[in-house]
Amino acid sequence: MNSVSYKVVEEKEGLREIAKADINCVIWQRDVPEWVKQLPKAVFPAVDICISPDRELDFIKPRLSRYVGSQSTLYLTEDIKALLKIYSELTKCRQARIRFLSLDKPMCPGFHTDTLVLRMICTYIGTGTEWLPDEHVDRRYLGNYQQLEDQENPLILDVSQIKRMPLYAVGLLKGSRYGSDTLGVVHRSPTWSSVPYYRLVVSIDGRE
């Protein structure tokens, strides 16, 4: 595998880099629009549904409008719809699982790989997902020592190399089922960097 296992891109077309065998994480950096900055830290109703990529997402709007207002609801729904379209074009999936979650604690606090093919993730409020480039991971310790501090965890070869997705950036993360020639990216939910802890996150996984 190359010395660099991830790519940071400025345009959505750059997400296609994820198809390369030696790349297991691509981050598309986007400028944060004003409507994202104004989203409230509310306990949004969770969405967890499998749908076909060409289905409209109007069913999300009434779940959000009472919390963020009609204009922000429109922007947020349209952005999720655009991400679903990009994901389906990249993966050719017949169905996708969309999860829209407001989190008051880390969902997956330990470094791990996902047991799936490919995940898209975007954080709209709070701290973004953290990951480790392959060259700074000792995979022999995956699933162990998660209770240790980062400096003491033998999985992490260089604590200074822990990466974090920026707000509103779009990440593509390969899982362990992507293919035999590619390793799933080692990542985790961000740690308790703020009190109270709060994140608003969308993830998209392919389903056949």
Query: Which tens digit of pLDDT belongs to each residue from 30-88?
Result: 999 999 998 888 777 788 989 888 877 777 777 777 766 667 778 988 999 999 999 99
pLDDT in tens, 127-166: 999 999 999 999 999 887 777 889 999 999 999 999 999 9
- What was the pLDDT predicted at 180? 72
- What was the pLDDT predicted at 143? 80
Query: What does the longest C-alpha to C-alpha distance in the chain come to?
Result: 49
Distance CA 154, CA 150 (A): 8
Distance CA 77, CA 60 (A): 7
Tell me the pLDDT of the chain averaged across its residues.
Answer: 88
Instruction: Report in angstroms the alpha-carbon separations of 153 from 2, 114, 139.
Output: 24, 20, 12
Q: Which residue has the tokens 């509310």?
A: 42
- What was the pLDDT predicted at 179? 81
SS3 137: strand
Distance CA 191, CA 130 (A): 9
Q: Is the model's pLDDT at 192 over the cut of 80?
A: no
What number of helices (H) and strands (E) belong to the chain? 3, 10
Instruction: Report in angstroms the alpha-carbon separations of 47 from 44, 101, 153, 172.
Output: 9, 7, 34, 20
CATH architecture under which domain 6-207 falls: Sandwich (2.60)
- Which run of H or of E encompasses 97? strand 95-103
The pLDDT confidence band at residue 2, using thresholds 50, 70 and 90, is very low
- What was the pLDDT predicted at 62? 73
- What was the pLDDT predicted at 68? 67
Q: Is the model's pLDDT at 182 over the cut of 90?
A: no
